[in-house]
């Protein structure tokens, strides 16, 4: 998938959309050769790659370094980037400069968390010619208000608001919406009511696509095991074992041998 038009067409054609996050050049090259449809340089980069406790520490500059690295490895896929914490709350000039940097680094679309006060500015960004992806449910930039990384939309009031927000985001011009940590019946309903594709994470099987953090699905995030996460590789153990094997080989003078040496 190369453009946001392909994204919208997928929903019309009933084809599911697969996405992973990506933060660096080498994994971008592997993803580029895979059949994964699109890539998100998420603000989760602050947690996964830099060890911060929340996504609040993702800065424009941090995002841009990672977007540029990913872009150099990604020839053939749509690249979406998160708008980091508060970049849309410091005035239009700051926002447009931030988007300018993200797009020049290589993003083709921008993802923004939440609806409410964002509707008008999303309209403005879309009219400017920049594709915007929405993000509802568990919006990690609001973790301190939400009181943790929890399931959202649990009662009628909250689920009605989420459906209403999703419709507002579609009307504002979003080409797609991420639904994070919602009961599957709610994300099913939202998906049915919208004409733009929904991409789920912890939102059940009825969204138009799925996204996982690359390191999570590769099993590299050792202790991270939310219910929604399926690990496709035992990455942590495989890497740990390889490191220990190399260490053993060095200490026992098994590596390098003469075939790995020069005359």
Ligand X SMILES: Nc1nc(=O)c2c([nH]1)NC[C@@H]1CN(c3ccc(C(=O)N[C@@H](CCC(=O)O)C(=O)O)cc3)CN21
List interacting residues with ligand X (CB under 6 A).
44, 47-48, 55, 140, 149-151, 181, 202, 213, 216, 221, 224, 226-228
CA-CA distance, 41 to 21, in Å (whole number)?
6
Contact partner, 210, from Mg ion, ligand KIV, ligand X, none, Cβ < 5-8 Å per class: none
The residues carrying an active-site annotation are 180
CA-CA distance, 242 to 232, in Å (whole number)?
18
Contact partner, 170, from ligand X, ligand KIV, Mg ion, none, Cβ < 5-8 Å per class: none
The binding site for 3-methyl-2-oxobutanoate comprises 43-44, 82, 111
How many CB atoms are closer than 10 A to CB 108?
19
Q: Are 187 and 162 in contact (CB under 8 A)?
A: no
Nearer to ligand X, 43 or 170 (CB): 43
Q: Which two tokens stand for residue 200?
A: 């789920």
Q: Which two tokens stand for residue 158?
A: 């909250």
Contact partner, 227, from ligand X, ligand KIV, Mg ion, none, Cβ < 5-8 Å per class: ligand X
Task: Tell the smallest beta-carbon distance from residue 187 to ligand KIV (Å).
Answer: 13
Taking alpha carbons only, the member of 34, 20, 92, 97 closest to residue 60 is 97
Q: Which two tokens stand for residue 79?
A: 């690249």
| Interaction between residue 42 and Mg ion (CB under 5 A) | yes
Q: Which residues bind ligand KIV (CB under 6 A)?
A: 21, 40, 42-44, 55, 82, 178, 180, 201, 211, 213
């Amino acid at each position: 998938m190369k453009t946001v038009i392909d994204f919208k067409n997928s929903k019309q054609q009933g084809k599911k959309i697969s996405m992973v996050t990506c933060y660096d050049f080498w994994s971008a090259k592997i993803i580029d050769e895979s059949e994964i449809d699109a890539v998100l340089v998420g603000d989760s980069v602050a947690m996964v790659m830099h060890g911060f406790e929340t996504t609040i520490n993702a800065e424009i500059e941090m995002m841009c370094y990672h977007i540029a690295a990913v872009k150099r490895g990604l020839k053939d896929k749509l690249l979406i980037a998160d708008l980091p914490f508060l970049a849309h709350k410091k005035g239009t000039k700051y926002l447009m400069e931030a988007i300018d940097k993200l797009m020049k680094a290589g993003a083709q679309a921008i993802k923004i968390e939440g609806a409410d006060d964002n509707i008008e500015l999303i309209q403005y960004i879309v009219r400017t010619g920049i594709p915007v992806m929405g993000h509802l449910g568990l919006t990690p930039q609001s973790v301190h208000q939400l009181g943790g990384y929890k399931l959202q939309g649990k009662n009628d009031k909250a689920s009605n608001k989420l459906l209403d927000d999703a419709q507002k985001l579609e009307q504002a011009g979003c080409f797609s919406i991420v639904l994070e940590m919602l009961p599957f019946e709610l994300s099913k309903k939202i998906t049915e009511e919208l004409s733009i594709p929904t991409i789920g994470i912890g939102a059940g099987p009825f969204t138009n696509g799925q996204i996982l953090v690359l390191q999570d699905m590769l099993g590299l995030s050792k202790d991270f095991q939310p219910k929604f996460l399926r690990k496709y590789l035992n990455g942590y153990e495989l890497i740990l074992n390889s490191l220990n094997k190399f260490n053993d080989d060095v200490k026992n003078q098994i590596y390098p041998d003469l075939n790995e040496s020069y005359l």
